Structure 1
Amino acid sequence: MDTGSIAWAITATALVLFMTPGLAFFYGGLVKAKSVVSMMMMSFGALALVGVLWVLYGYNMSAVGGTWEFAGNPFSDFALSSLATGETANTDLIGVAFGATFAIITVALISGAIADRAKFGSWLVFAGVWATLVYFPVAAWVWGGGWILNLGDTLGLPAVIDYAGGTAVHINAGAAALALAIVLGKRVGFQKGMDKPHNVPLTLLGASVLWFGWFGFNAGAEFLNELANTGLIVLNTLGATAAAIIGWLIVEKLKDGKPTAVGAASGAVAGLVAITPSCANLEPGWALLLGIIAGAISALAVELKFKLGFDDSLDVVGIHLVAGFIGTLYLGFFAIDTGLFTGGDLGQLSVQAIAAFAVAIYSFVIAFVLGFAIEKTIGFRVKNEDEIAGIDTVVHGEEGYKLETV
């Protein structure tokens, strides 16, 4: 690998790692002031725990030797001692670090669904076990030689397209978020408009950091391809996200009468999610259309929790699960050369749908069972009185804002 590709790989790894603090800012601004420390610590806790697990055995599990293997052997190279002493260790270990950042943020995304009411220790138990049973194997299915990667060949259809994680990251996390929201139940007084974001600028900062880091998220793996498609990926990541902001704000204006800053930030994230699987396989015009659609539909989808009765605190389902499905299925219609309207047939849509629904169902079931088990044993949800008082001081002994009186 040439020095330019190595430099980009290191840069992209740093960019994607920076996204998890960005997510903490984004989520932190959306909760009430007395929960901001707890919310941000859930992201930082995932960063710490999943980062360690990935090095110990997660990377080993993320690649398989045969199409129908569930996951790689976690103990095949425990703590990567053999990989670190191999002839290609310099470049191999950069790839390991890059993969770790994806595992970290996927787990961190889930936490937004249980804001204001989850115990930190229980969250870490869930994060570690879910990463082991769900993310590491799904990464193997999608990118590591598993059944999703080979689904097209198996069925005699085009290969599944998931360039940067529509299924492995966003549908995966969104389905788990829905399961946990159901298990933990509704917050005290749950209703539309019950809690306003306590710090809108913090949320905008978080969305900006996410967008910045997402260029590494989407284009990072191009170091393996000598940066061949980087231009298209970068442009689509910019264009679809910008268009999604417009789509969200139009819906918000028509529905509520005012376009909001939180709506703009949420629209940006929805666009980023939607373009993630498709960034290398859409012409720029189709990427803009995808952004408009994802932003508009996600703006409507976040209202579903009130109609269906599940308390997804920060709209992980409405943004990540919904926009993840949109971006993944959209390729069935507009992927370069293989989409239904771009030279192909229904084959691309078929494999996209199989992959998306399989990951969603598997993640939801495992997350629900795991969350239920934690709740019934060590407890997952804080007491109602602690939730009402604000869980920062109860769980962490800290306050996000300390007002001094003179």
Structure 2
Amino acid sequence: MFRSVRHRATLYALLLGLLAPTMGHTETVNGANTAWILTATALVLFMTIPGLSLFYAGLVRAKNVLSVLMQCFAITCAASLIWLVCGYSLAFGDGGSMNAWIGNLQNVMLAGVTKDSLAGDIPETVFFMFQMTFAIITPALIVGGFAERMRFSAVMLFSCFWLLVVYVPITHWVWGGGWLAEMGLLDFAGGTVVHITAGVAALVTAIVLGRRRGFQQQPMMPHNLTMTVTGAGMLWVGWFGFNGGSALAANGDAGMAMLVTHISAATGSLAWMMMEWIKHGKPSVLGIVTGMVAGLGTITPASGFVGPGGAVLIGFSAGIICYFATQMLKLRFRIDDSLDVFPVHGIGGILGTLLAGIFISADLGVFSGQGYAEGMAMDSQLKVQFIGVLSTLVYTAVLTFVLLKLVNLMVGLRVDDEQETQGLDISQHDERGYDI
């Protein structure tokens, strides 16, 4: 996804074409790479439904459990169609004179893409599907910022508009040959494209919508932590496809990405658990799974560039810093980011993108990564990383705010007080999650 990864994948494809027997239905298809990306695609979709759906659903109150499941499921369907119609073409097409900012519309409805079309040495349909799963999970992550109080019609309109106006352009900037790719931004699997965009959008949405009724005045405990832990386990497993698949090949890059992903998740979990143990005297299940997600999100942009030693430090930093960010956002600023999307994904994405510029260095001993591409010095790389973080943050915040105001004019953003008290399951879907 980063241009150096593309260069490696192209080189591997050329070498395999010369040295290996033909695999697949054309002379240039790499069967091993294709099989791995097919598997990774299934794993990333597994992250959203059922992984993220169950993780979020367990964290809300019982009267809103179906609403969260419905939102994740519906966003999956809508994002899939948007990606087919024009999202993929705009994100990965050659935009000509506008290529620094956006792609073209040559592949609308996958026009010109057949079963024999290739992206590198894998079928383009497989690349399309893999990238589609990223386009699905990113707006679904934002659900945690407005859970329990947004109209379902507003959720759908906002998610569709946001995917096209925010996610697609930033994807092109970073992975589609746009201006950040040309600068050399390190974002292997989505620190900027996925986690910063989703985290910032969730924060802006939480501020615009306002706090839930009774926020910090009455308990709003997760109604089913067993469900949340089940979803967390699915996220952990699915993340191997998320990061490992971003190598776009079944090779050492994919293997190292999976390794550092696991190490960071484990370290983040223990670091968050340690902070809770110190502060409250007991470790919590909610804390350890949240630390896992923080570790996973933070390693994501760096997963193709760092080694296991760097992954330990990245995961540890994620567990500590994201923990304090969560406390500060709720207690000091009193912002009701309901399921902690910004402090976990937003802060994690920012932290991981910046740390990628440090731990890629080959001069850090046991903490060394893969070394700088094209001879870029650490200070220059950190400058590029900072520009990537800042531009993604500002663009996402401004456009998210504008879209929220537009959707509010169209259908209204928030349910009324009576509907919120009743719960979104009944008020928005006329169903109950539990009938006991």
What TM-score results when the alignment is normalised by the length of structure 1?
A: 0.93
Deviation at 1:333, TM superposition (A): 2.0
- Counterpart of 1:110, as a letter, is I
Percentage of pairs with the same residue: 41
Query: Secondary structure of the equivalent of 1:368?
Result: helix
Alpha-carbon displacement from aligned partner over 1:363-394 (angstroms, at most 9, x marks no partner): 11111111122123310110111111111011
Alpha-carbon displacement from aligned partner over 1:198-231 (angstroms, at most 9, x marks no partner): 00011001110001100000011323x4523122
Name the CA distance, whole Å, in 1 between partners of 2:61 and 2:405.
Answer: 26
**Structure 2, unpaired ranges of 5+:** 1-28, 372-376
Paired position in structure 2 for 1:70: 101
Alpha-carbon displacement from aligned partner over 1:118-171 (angstroms, at most 9, x marks no partner): 1111111001100001101111000000011011xxxxxxx2110000000000
Summarize the alignment of residues 223-372 of structure 1 with structure 2, pairs less than 5 Å apart.
Answer: 223=248, 225-306=249-330, 307-337=332-362, 344-372=377-405
What TM-score results when the alignment is normalised by the length of structure 2?
A: 0.87
Count of equivalent residues: 394
Does 1:125 pair with 2:171?
no
- Counterpart of 1:313, as a letter, is S
Deviation at 1:193, TM superposition (A): 6.6
Paired position in structure 1 for 2:82: 53
Deviation at 1:235, TM superposition (A): 0.8
Name the CA distance, whole Å, in 2 between partners of 1:87 and 1:310.
Answer: 48
Paired position in structure 2 for 1:156: none
Distance 1:386 1:87, change over 3 A: closer
Paired position in structure 2 for 1:200: 225
Moved more, 21-30 or 306-315: 306-315
Query: Secondary structure of the equivalent of 1:138?
Result: helix
Name the CA distance, whole Å, in 2 between partners of 1:76 and 1:339.
Answer: 45
Deviation at 1:33, TM superposition (A): 0.3
Does 1:219 pair with 2:219?
no
C-alpha RMSD of matched pairs (Å): 1.9
Deviation at 1:116, TM superposition (A): 0.5
Deviation at 1:289, TM superposition (A): 1.1
- Counterpart of 2:430, as a letter, is G
Query: Secondary structure of the equivalent of 2:180?
Result: coil
Deviation at 1:94, TM superposition (A): 0.4
Name the CA distance, whole Å, in 2 between partners of 1:296 and 1:115.
Answer: 25
Distance 1:142 1:31, change over 3 A: same
Query: Secondary structure of the equivalent of 2:243?
Result: helix
Paired position in structure 2 for 1:167: 192
Summarize the alignment of residues 18-29 of structure 1 with structure 2, pairs less than 5 Å apart.
Answer: 18-21=46-49, 22-29=51-58
Name the CA distance, whole Å, in 1 between partners of 2:107 and 2:355.
Answer: 38
Does 1:42 pair with 2:42?
no
Name the CA distance, whole Å, in 1 between partners of 2:410 and 2:164.
Answer: 20
Name the CA distance, whole Å, in 2 between partners of 1:87 and 1:150.
Answer: 25
Summarize the alignment of residues 99-178 of structure 1 with structure 2, pairs less than 5 Å apart.
Answer: 99-151=131-183, 159-178=184-203
Name the CA distance, whole Å, in 2 between partners of 1:202 and 1:192.
Answer: 25
Deviation at 1:242, TM superposition (A): 0.1
Paired position in structure 2 for 1:155: none
Deviation at 1:339, TM superposition (A): 8.4
Name the CA distance, whole Å, in 2 between partners of 1:17 and 1:101.
Answer: 5
Alpha-carbon displacement from aligned partner over 1:98-132 (angstroms, at most 9, x marks no partner): 00000000010001000100111111100110000
Contact 2:247 2:304 in 1 (8 A): no
Does 1:209 pair with 2:239?
no
Contact 1:35 1:390 in 2 (8 A): yes
Name the CA distance, whole Å, in 2 between partners of 1:209 and 1:172.
Answer: 22
